[in-house]
């Protein structure tokens, strides 16, 4: 199982931020969205332990 790292989240958050036009002051928004997306993707692949919160549901 590949663990979800801070670097994974940072890279996705940066990509999301760029795609949104690089808005200022929304770091947390993109960080949490990136984390949510990555967890959902890895759960679909069976790559995240079931004890992690279901952040993709919200």
What global pTM score does this model have?
0.74
The string of DSSP codes covering 1-58 is -PPPPHHHHHHHHHHHHHHTT--TT-HHHHHHHHHHHHHHHHHHTT-S-TTS--GGG-
- Please tell me the predicted confidence (pLDDT) of residue 38: 92
Tens digit of pLDDT at every position of the chain (58 positions):
457 899 999 999 999 999 999 999 999 999 999 999 998 888 888 775 655 655 555 4
What residue spans define the domains of the chain? 6-47
């Amino acid at each position: 199982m590949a663990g979800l790292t801070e670097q994974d989240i940072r890279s996705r958050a940066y990509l999301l931020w760029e795609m949104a036009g690089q808005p200022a002051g929304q770091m947390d928004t993109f960080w949490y969205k990136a984390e949510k997306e990555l967890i959902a993707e890895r759960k679909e692949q069976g790559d995240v332990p079931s004890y992690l919160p279901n952040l993709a549901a919200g």
